[in-house]
Amino acid sequence: MQKRLLLNSTQFDITIKRLCYQLIEVHDDFSNTAIIGLQPRGVFVARRIVSSLCEILNLPKIMHGDLDVTFYRDDFRRREIIAPSETRVDFIIEDKNVILVDDVLFTGRTIRAGMDALLDFGRPRKVELLTLVDRRYSRHLPIEPDYIGISVDTITSEKVTVKWKEVDGEDGVWLV
Amino acid sequence: MPSLSVKHLLGIKDLSVEDIELVFSTADNFKDVLNRPIKKVPSLRDVTIANLFFENSTRTRLSFELAERRLSADVINFAASSSSVSKGETLIDTVNNILAMKVDIVVMRHPHAGAAQFLSKHVSASIVNAGDGAHEHPTQALLDAFSIREKLGEVKGKKIAIIGDILHSRVALSNIFCLQKLGAEVMVCGPTTLLPKYIASLGVQVETNLRKALEWCDVANMLRIQLERQDIRYFPSLREYIQLFGLNKEILDSLSKRITIMHPGPINRGVEITSEVADSAQSIILNQVENGVAIRMAVLYLLAGQVGK
C-alpha cells in the first residue's frame, strides 16, 4: 500500500514545539503538573515534550513517568496477549494536574485503560489528554484530546505510523 | 507476545524454558503492581477461579487467593474436609459439579500424585496444580527460581543445594526440573533414607554430608521434615537429624562464602533451620512469599489470556 507522509521531520519538530507552548499557556511553570506517557509509543512523545519544555522554560526537570495499561485493557481474552512494558511513576499523583500522552488516538480504548491505570496511583486534580495524531471520527468511547498535534481523517483499514529518531532513525508521521 | 505452550500448569516438566522466562517477565510486571498504592488490576474480572484444596495448606492457598483477587477474578474456595468428598463423591464428579457453575480455572491441591494430570484430561477448565502428593508443586518452583534470579541476577550457572526430606517433597522435584531447565546445577542432600533411590538419574548430585553440600552451593534450599508423611521411621531421632542436617549460625559462618538461604515453608524452627538463620540477612524466605503472589498472578494471567485454546 502507498505511504503518505503526514508530517516530515521539520513539521514534526514544529508540532512538538507548538504543543509545548500550548501546555505552557495552561500549566505555567509545571510545578504541580506531571506528564505521563502511555506505553509503548506514547512515552516517546512524552519524553520529547518534557525535554523541549525543560529547554524552553529553562527548568532542570519536570515530573514525568511511563504508564503501562496492559492489565487494564478491555480486550484481554478477546485477542492474543500483549507483552506488558514497564510502568515508572515515581512521584505522588494525588492532587496533581496530569497530562496523559499518547502518539495516536484512535478508538479511545487505550486512553480509557490509561485513565483506570492512572487512578490506581491516586486521585489527580485534573487529567488532560495530549495526542500527537488524532484520527477523527473513529472513537468507540466519548474521549476527546485537549491538545492535538495533527488531526487526520482516516478509514479503519488505514494505519498511522509515527517514527522516532531515537528508535526508528527518523522523525515523521505516515499514513499507510 | 508469545503465549504459554500449555493450557494447564500441571508440572514444571511440561514447561519449556521460554514458558518459564515468560512467567518471570510477566511476574516482574505484577511485582511492580503489588508495590502500588492500589495493588489490583482488572484483567481477570470476567474469570472465575475455583480453589480446590483436598489437602491442608495455608500459605499456598492464601497466596493463590490473593493473586486471584488482585487480578479481579471471582474466587470460590473449597476445602475437602468440609465437602461432599467425605460423603464418597469422586474427584471428577466433584469438579464437574463445580464447573457447572461456570468456572474457568481450577487451582487444585491433592494428596495423590497425578491428580491434576488426571483431572486435566476430563474437564474443560484450565488446571493449575498447587501440589499433588510427592509429585510436583510448579508454582513453588517458579517462585523459588524467580527469587534466586532476583537475588543473584540469574539462575544460569548457579549451584543450588536442596537439603532435607527429598523423598516426600514435591517442592524438590519441581525445583530440580525448573532449575535444570534454567541452566543451574542442582545437588540434593539429606539422610540416605530420605533420598529417593533413583534421584541421581535426574542428573543431580547426591550428597549426605551437610557441610560438603553447603561448601559447594551458592543457594541452600532447606526443606521441612514432613513428619506427617512419614509412615515409618526414616532416622533414629529428631535430635540426631538436627545434629547432622540442621542448619545453624555456626556452620553458616564457618563457610568460605556467604550463601543464600531459602525455605518453602512452613518452617520447623530449630529442626531443619534455626531461628537465627531463618531470620538472618542471608535468608530470602519472606521474599519468596512475596514473590509467590506475583508468580501466581503471572501464571493465572497467562493461562486465562489464552484465546481459543
ipTM of the prediction greater than 0.85, yes or no? no
| Parallel, antiparallel or unpaired: strands B219-222 and A126-136 | unpaired
Which chain B positions have a beta carbon within 8 Å of A80's beta carbon?
Answer: 1, 3, 307
pLDDT of res. B213: 96
| Single-letter amino acid, residue B44 | L
Query: What 3-state class would DSSP assign to B46?
Result: coil
Which chain A positions have a beta carbon within 8 Å of B43's beta carbon?
Answer: 71-73, 76
Asked if residues B4 and B305 have their Cβ atoms less than 8 Å apart, the reply is no
Name the pLDDT band for B7 (thresholds 50, 70, 90).
very high
pLDDT of res. B228: 72
Are B38 and A121 an interchain contact pair (Cβ–Cβ within 8 Å)?
Answer: yes
Check if B12-137+289-304 and B138-286 are the same fold. Answer: yes
Which chain A positions have a beta carbon within 8 Å of B304's beta carbon?
Answer: 76-77
Tell me the H-state helices in A75-136.
Answer: 109-119
Residue B307: which of A79, A87, A117 has the nearest Cβ? A79
A29 at B interface, C-beta within 8 A:
no
pLDDT tens string A70-88:
999 988 888 888 888 889 9
pLDDT tens string B171-201:
999 999 999 999 999 999 999 999 999 999 9
Residue B32: which of A82, A87, A122 has the nearest Cβ? A87
Which chain B positions have a beta carbon within 8 Å of A39's beta carbon?
Answer: none
Residue B41: which of A71, A121, A122 has the nearest Cβ? A71
What's the rounded Cα separation, in Å, for the pair B253 and B199? 30
pLDDT tens string B265-286:
889 999 999 999 999 999 999 9
pLDDT tens string B218-230:
999 999 987 776 6
Average pLDDT over residues A99-121: 94
pLDDT of res. B128: 97
Q: Can you point out the beta strands (E) in B85-228?
A: 105-110, 126-132, 159-163, 185-189, 205-207, 219-222
A90 at B interface, C-beta within 8 A:
no
- Which of the 8 DSSP states describes residue A76? B
What's the rounded Cα separation, in Å, for the pair B299 and B126? 11
Residue B23: closest CA among chain A residues belongs to which residue?
A: A83
Percent over 70 (pLDDT), chain B: 95
Query: What 3-state class would DSSP assign to A143?
Result: coil
CATH superfamily of B12-137+289-304: Aspartate/ornithine carbamoyltransferase (3.40.50.1370)
Give the helix/strand (H/E) hosting A127.
Answer: strand A126-136
Q: Examine the pLDDT at B307 and tell me if it is beyond 70.
A: no
Q: Does domain A4-76+88-175 have CATH number 3.40.50.2020?
A: yes
A81 at B interface, C-beta within 8 A:
yes
Among A155-164, B5-14, B143-152, name the one with the lowest average pLDDT: A155-164
With b for 16 or more beta-carbon neighbours within 10 A and e for fewer, the A55-69 pattern comes to eeeeeeebbbbbbbb
Distance from the A94 Cα atom to the nearest Cα atom in chain B, whole angstroms:
11
Q: What is the mean pLDDT of chain B?
A: 91
CA dist list (Å): A87 to A67, A90, B29, B104, B124: 5, 9, 8, 29, 35
pLDDT of res. B99: 83
pLDDT of res. B230: 67
A80 at B interface, C-beta within 8 A:
yes
Multiple choice CATH, B138-286, 3.20.20.70, 3.40.50.1370, 3.40.50.300, 3.30.70.20: 3.40.50.1370
Q: Examine the pLDDT at B120 and tell me if it is beyond 70.
A: yes
Residue B37: which of A78, A79, A122 has the nearest Cβ? A122
Residue among B19, B307, B309 with most chain A CBs within 10 A, to mutate:
B307
Residue A42: all three cell numbers together: 506514547
pLDDT of res. B308: 57
pLDDT of res. B83: 61
pLDDT of res. A81: 81
* Bridge partner list, B263: none
CA dist list (Å): B57 to A20, B25, B131, B265, B269: 57, 27, 10, 11, 18
pLDDT tens string B8-47:
999 999 999 999 999 999 999 999 999 888 899 999 998 9
